[in-house]
């Protein structure tokens, strides 16, 4: 084979590698590999992919929401208010801008910050009410790993809504601060505070 024939093949292979690298990045910027999971119980339920919008392909599959990227699940959670229902493009833009703020303030991969924030916001215990002869008695129970992730995302989204709705704080700034605070385990952060409160109430009901 001549050099002229081999050069196009090498160029094509290089282009394929560059394309694969681009596809492997969330929003074209953030690596989704080598993510460090601190909590082994929730690791299998926190999926990290470079896809931020799956077009609802998991909507009809029961209990398979954990296959959706944790980033998209956060985006979906941000839409679960009367004012933001259905505004997925807006919610995606908010998350993308928040990731830029996180990277600027922490010099860390914002995907890693999100994963750590969810882990730190996920309660390990909660209470259920059992009825004994017409009397409701609170009982502490362990929280299933999948529900722990659900609760963590819920608390993060509620914190963002509380900090940004009818205030001077932009939603992307509120989200960035919630994620940074939760990743650091700051109890002043709404999500971590709610997790601690749930576990405190459960401990009292043991």
The alpha helices in the chain, defined as continuous H runs, are: 3-23, 70-78, 88-106, 110-121, 145-164, 171-183, 190-204
pTM for this entry: 0.81
| CATH of residue 62 | 1.10.455.10
The number of folded domains in the chain is: 1
- Determine the Cα–Cα distance for residues 135 and 26; give it in Å rounded to an integer: 51
Average pLDDT over residues 80-84: 75
**If we measure between CA atoms, which residue out of 42, 65, 37, 68 comes closest to residue 54?**
68
Tokens of 127: 């209470």
pLDDT for residue 4 is more than 90: no
pLDDT of residue 32: 87
Domain with 152 in it: 3-204
């Amino acid at each position: 084979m001549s050099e002229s024939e081999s050069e196009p093949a090498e160029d094509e292979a290089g282009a394929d590698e560059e394309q694969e690298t681009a596809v492997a990045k969330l929003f074209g910027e953030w690596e989704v590999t080598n993510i460090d999971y601190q909590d082994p119980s929730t690791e299998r339920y926190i999926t990290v992919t470079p896809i931020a919008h799956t077009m609802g392909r998991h909507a009809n599959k029961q209990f398979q929401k954990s296959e959706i990227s944790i980033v998209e699940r956060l985006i979906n959670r941000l839409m679960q208010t009367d004012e933001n229902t259905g505004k997925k493009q807006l919610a995606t833009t908010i998350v993308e801008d928040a990731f830029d703020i996180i990277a600027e303030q922490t010099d860390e991969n914002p995907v890693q910050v999100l994963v750590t924030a969810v882990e730190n916001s996920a309660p390990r215990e909660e209470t259920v009410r059992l009825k004994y002869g017409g009397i409701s008695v609170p009982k502490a129970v362990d929280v299933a790993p999948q529900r722990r992730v659900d609760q963590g995302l819920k608390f993060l989204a509620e914190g963002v809504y509380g900090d940004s709705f009818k205030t001077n704080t932009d939603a992307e700034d509120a989200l960035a601060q919630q994620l940074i605070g939760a990743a650091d385990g700051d109890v002043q952060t709404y999500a971590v505070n709610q997790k601690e409160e749930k576990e405190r109430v459960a401990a009292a009901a043991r």
